[in-house]
Amino acid sequence: MKSSSNSRFDVYEAITNQIITAIEGGAGEVQLPWHRKGSAIYRPLNIASGKAYRGVNTVALWAAADARQYAQGIWGTYRQWQDREAQVRKGEKSSLVIFYKELDSGEAAPVHDDESGERRFVARASRVFNIAQVDGYSLPEQDDDEDRIDPCEAAEDFVSATDAKITVGGDSAFYRPSNDTITMPDRHRFVGTETSSATEGWYSTLLHELTHWSGASHRMDRAFGKRFGDNAYAMEEMVAELGAAFLCGDLGITAEPRPDHAAYIDHWLRILKEDRKAIFTAASAANKAAEYLASLGNRERREAA
């Protein structure tokens, strides 16, 4: 991606480049940074708030963690680590996240308007460090006998709460808008890989299709128009994959790369390189889809109370 023509720091370009670098820096092949190997891809957490990062920040920190082989997804600013009596080691390189600051009516700056057009925000970058980059802080010891929830059971409950119509059979996974159904391959076709089990592959694929399902016109009405043109289909695939990754992180499932990624990856990289805000659009749409799907379960629990 070309640099900005002026010297002003461009947070969109910087974070997009951070993600592109991680994707292109795969071990001998182009790979997606949110497909973590060997461990669950829990959403990255902020050390101060204890809350998960959202949207593009999730992707950016997964990318940074994957590129640098960080085992834990706990992050904080220099000051936030100091507040916990921890010290970022000298020479450690920070990672970028973005936040939006609301502007007063009189302030002038490149802004992002909310959907109502009444509030104006400006994008700001924040630099954070992973727990692996600090001294003086240790995670609380875990009780090995603690029941931390069966992620398969949690995923089953999550999917059931959506009331999506799902059929199983054949050798393909897809969402069909014409009859609003999801089709999954036969379970025995999921045999596992070097990086994930057959069960993990099943649920991450199902969550991918469920993210597509969320975008139907009578649900979220998600569409990518003239801005992406012929790349709109690849954008929707990126949203579905990010949505599945976000949900896998929330449910404690290791994501399984889909076998058709090779057909999309070049499109994804081209979109990212040509449009510095494309990953922000995709991550935002994926985050909204994940939250929408989660809300269906929350609704069911409220109705049962």
For 79-125, how does the pLDDT look when each residue is reduced to its tens digit (9 = 90+)? 999 999 999 999 999 999 998 887 665 555 444 544 445 666 788 89
Instruction: Provide, for the chain, the percentages of residues in helix, strand and coil under a 3-state DSSP scheme, each rounded to the nearest 5.
Output: 45, 15, 45
pLDDT at 50: 92
Amino acid at residue number 67: A
Q: Which residue has the higher pLDDT, 190 or 51?
A: 51
The residues spanned by each domain of the chain are 11-135, 151-304
pLDDT for res 195: 65
pLDDT digits (tens, 9 = 90+) for 141-163: 655 444 332 447 889 999 999 99
Q: Which amino acid belongs to residue 32?
A: L
> Which of 33-42, 117-126, 148-157, 210-219 has the lowest average pLDDT?
148-157
Q: Report pLDDT digits (tens) over 161-209.
A: 999 999 998 888 999 999 999 999 887 777 666 666 777 788 889 999 9
Q: What is the pLDDT of residues 260-294, one digit of tens each?
A: 777 788 889 999 999 999 999 999 999 999 999 99
pTM score above 0.85 = no
Per-residue model confidence as pLDDT tens digits over 223-242 = 998 888 888 999 999 999 99
**151-156 contacts, C-beta under 8 A, 24 or more apart:** 151/40, 151/203, 151/251, 151/252, 151/253, 152/199, 152/203, 152/253, 154/251, 154/252, 155/203, 155/206, 155/207, 155/251, 155/253
Residues 83/48, Cβ–Cβ less than 8 Å: yes
Amino acid at 290: A
